[in-house]
Structure 1
């Protein structure tokens, strides 16, 4: 864990531990827009700005990995204009990331089944991947899960392992939990310590199913576009008051 540095009212610094890996289910964009009489895509735009703010804040306070659920395998069922708006937001963010992330020292990764994404977005992802590789494994990492589903991820990992067995590279009895972990999209990062779900919903929604076995969950009624750094502070404080036993006493 890193150190969470915050200012007291008297401006004296106060150090608090922070989770190494925080993940967020970015929920409530559509409801935020509806409450204001705006189209759903307006909520997604503000939600993207919130992501930038919170991702930067996470780096500043020492969180090494920040992962968000941006677009699920089920989200293709949404109205086409909303899907198109989300794809354009991804284009805009990936362009910005390619231009600025190296200077900021933040490695941007995109996780999920990327094969069905538009070709130009896949090209942008390849570009930010190359820049992230140059930053090295110790860089702060912001990951967007796009066309992601926890069950789909596990299915794809099982298929990859089955191919290794078929090729004679792996014996079935040698398959361990580490084997499965190594074939997930998140193989390059530790499991999330804390998963935050805004918007008042209390479910995991097929997010990081394997990786969240011992994650702490924090639920809040705040809609994602309204989520502030103070809300993240509250989640971290709540996390720090929990006793994580990992199945022990």
Structure 2
């Protein structure tokens, strides 16, 4: 009986907290609501050490904190949430710890795909961002499955950055941009190949009223009647040249010079290196599937970006609560959003200037 009463009390208290939270979010929604919030989930190991927990339990507590913060963000109206789950630099940790984290990640991916999970509750689409080829095959297969299963969701988006660093993302984007430009050049060579040049030559010849077939037949006739032509035709041609002067020579040279100019122009364009622009690089970023973050939150009081979203956070405010990641709560998110709203007009001006 006492246990049942405790359950009812807990249920009522949970309902009251949920109502209070929704009222608070209603007030926050009067101002600008961030479209994208990014998190650096720092402090899982320190949390476990602080509480004398077994190795790996800190990350399990961190996963529970992630589910709570996702619920808060989506209730507030935030569409995109990004989390820094595992850096490429983290592969330098002890192999046993790395393997434990990979196993935990695969387990949690399968867990969030269950029917009653938060993914299905809020219609979340999953993106795993980073150099996924560095991961073990079981983890990579689980991630690919999760992205495939949630591809139809469009209400909310969760981007999990794993095997990620911003520098690796930039190198990848430049490499892909170079590949794209190379493919464009090769396609251009096919489109403007020999057939294209010949078509342009024929067009020039027709424009100047030159019949190539008549020229060939005239050449054959001259070969058969060489002696006769040399006496009569030569004199008439020479007379024509002397009478027409430079205008004749210029007119007769126009078709050939036009062809030469087109060939030289074509050669120049083929040798010319294409320019890689800013839009090309941004298109090939891992994070191109989402807009730039409006807020970056790093727990544990650290203010370093640790090679996370360096490209995308040039005008993004950084909020760094002292709480370790498993300790992050509703009030941390509320203060971050209030700080964002207070500086929103200034940040929008900076974005337009950049």
Shift of 1:143: 1.2
Q: Which residue of 2 aligns with 1:86?
A: 101
Q: Does 1:28 align with 2:43?
A: yes
Q: Does 1:14 align with 2:115?
A: no
Matches within 5 A, 1:1-249: 6-7=22-23, 13-16=26-29, 17-99=32-114, 100=117, 101-135=119-153, 138-169=154-185, 174-242=275-343, 243-244=346-347, 245-246=349-350, 248=353
Change (3 A) 1:218 1:117: same
- Whether contact under 8 Å (1:218, 1:235) holds in the other structure is yes
Unpaired stretches in structure 2, ≥5 consecutive residues: 1-20, 187-271
Normalising by structure 2, we get a TM-score of 0.64
Unpaired stretches in structure 1, ≥5 consecutive residues: none
Aligned residue-pair number: 240
Name the larger-Rg structure.
2
State the Cα deviation string for residues 127-149 of structure 1 (Å, max 9, x = none).
111123212xx420111100000
- Whether contact under 8 Å (2:38, 2:296) holds in the other structure is yes
SS of equivalent to 1:134: coil
Q: What is the Cα-based RMSD across aligned positions, in Å? A: 2.2
Normalising by structure 1, we get a TM-score of 0.89
Shift of 1:40: 4.1
- Whether contact under 8 Å (1:22, 1:65) holds in the other structure is yes
